[in-house]
Amino acid sequence: MTSEVEWARLTAPELKVRAGQSNSVVILPVGSLEQHGPHLPVITDTASAFAVSVQAAKSLAGDTTVTVLPGLWLGMSEHHLPFGGTVSLDYSAYRGVLQGIVRSLKVLGFQRLLIVNGHGGNIDPLAVAVRELAVEYKMPIVATTPWMLAPEKLAAIFEVDAGPTHACEGESSVMLAIAGDVVRVEKFAEAAEKHDGAVSVPSGISRFYAFPERAPVTGTMGDPRSATAEKGERFLKVQADELVALIRSEKIWTKPQGVWGEW
């Protein structure tokens, strides 16, 4: 049995074997294709989700059979469109893509799916879609955003920012660790500039804010100037360890109850 963890690097017969294994888990990294200030590439959210998924899967080798799908680069990012470089789905299209993936996995024989999310704008739609699809396909489907796991451990790594925001110290560090050649370090100071007029979003309400309202001019929230590849490796290690713990937890893999019954 090959130790390869990336779905795209395996053959169909090899994947068919994995589908029949009772301990098999598929990870779908999801992100976006959206602006990340003047210093980070638009693939940042997808790249970070894929990197931490692969790291977690490799950590489980010999324990659980984990296969990582290619990162889903389309997400819900309409709030970033005014800055350029962004391609977005609406909710119905996003759910449709997820449904197609879940249905395919079910037909192939896979029984467990972990969705690892790297984009804040996907959190709410994922929460709804995962609940619906799990019941519809009678399959445990779990979604998580690694930047929201182990907040105290992650906070200990940040030196300037209070936590993860957008194109910040955290995301910039991770991208330096996994794809430093596409990070515009010379643009860090420009990205960190603060501008008047940013909207402070009140808690306890839900409404649409375009990102230029929240991060005028640069599209950056947070300060990337203290980002380093070493910090990025530490961020990834904490997140990967949390994903490993999730995958090993029996509590999250119980089969969804058929609440709608049989018609």
Q: What is the mean pLDDT of residues 134-159?
A: 97
Q: What is the mean pLDDT of residues 111-127?
A: 98
Q: Name the DSSP class of 81.
A: G
pLDDT exceeds 90 at position 234: yes
Residues 71, 44: Cα–Cα separation, whole Å: 11
pTM of the model: 0.97
Q: What is the mean pLDDT of residues 162-176?
A: 97
- Please tell me the predicted confidence (pLDDT) of residue 61: 84
Q: What is the dihedral of CA 219, 223, 229, 230, to 10 degrees?
A: -150
- Please tell me the predicted confidence (pLDDT) of residue 262: 67
pLDDT exceeds 80 at position 1: no
Of the chain, the percentage scoring pLDDT greater than 90 comes to 93
- Please tell me the predicted confidence (pLDDT) of residue 49: 98
Residues 72, 91: Cα–Cα separation, whole Å: 15
Q: What is the mean pLDDT of residues 66-90?
A: 98
Q: Name the DSSP class of 164.
A: -
Q: Can you read off the two tokens belonging to residue 202?
A: 């009140």
- Please tell me the predicted confidence (pLDDT) of residue 263: 56
Which domains does the chain show, CATH number per domain? 7-199+208-250 (3.40.50.10310)
DSSP H or E segment with residue 27: strand 25-30
pLDDT exceeds 70 at position 5: yes
Residues 212, 81: Cα–Cα separation, whole Å: 9
